[in-house]
Amino acid sequence: MTEQAGNLTFAIIKPDAVRAGNTGKIVDRIISGGFRIRALKMIQQTRAQAEGFYEVHRGKPFFEGLTEFMSSAPCIVMVLENDGAVKAWRDLMGATDPAKADAGTIRKQFGASVGENATHGSDSDENAAIEIAYFFNRLEIV
């Protein structure tokens, strides 16, 4: 697969899933779902880093809680490759609210609430490029 628009997306295994010991299970679901992991690392975001990443949501009622949560413990950031990667990853993740997610999705299986829903995924090819660049440099994507 080549690195064309639409083939790469950004993903996070959030602190709740890492804390619960579900990292390996989620990575396995990603691979068995047809994705190639092009980059992966465990990080501990500072509050400022989380605020920078979620800057588009500043001023919304959930911003403070979200950035506090995302900086509360380690998470796994990844670059995933697949045809139509953004949509494919969002389909595998499931709905933001695990209670409304389809059976068999990652959020249905591992998410506890809208706020602690195990994973993050880019919502567009444009945002995938921005989010990938926030956490990875070109040398880290193989």
Distance CA 120, CA 111 (A): 11
Distance CA 3, CA 1 (A): 7
**Cβ 89 vs Cβ 82: under 8 Å:** yes
DSSP 3-state of 39 = strand
Chain segment 56-83, per-residue pLDDT in tens: 999 999 999 999 999 999 999 999 999 9
Distance CA 54, CA 71 (A): 12
Question: Which among 88, 108, 120, 132 is annotated as catalytic?
Answer: 120
The model's pTM: 0.94
**What's the alpha-carbon Rg for the chain, to the nearest Å?**
14
Residue keyed to tokens 């045809």: 83
Q: Report DSSP state, residue 105.
A: S
Chain segment 75-118, per-residue pLDDT in tens: 999 999 999 999 999 999 999 999 999 999 999 999 999 999 99
- Whether 57 is catalytic is no
CATH number (3.30.70.141, 3.30.9.10, 3.40.50.1370, 3.40.50.2000) of 8-45+73-140 reads: 3.30.70.141
Chain segment 25-68, per-residue pLDDT in tens: 999 999 999 999 999 999 999 999 999 999 999 999 999 999 99
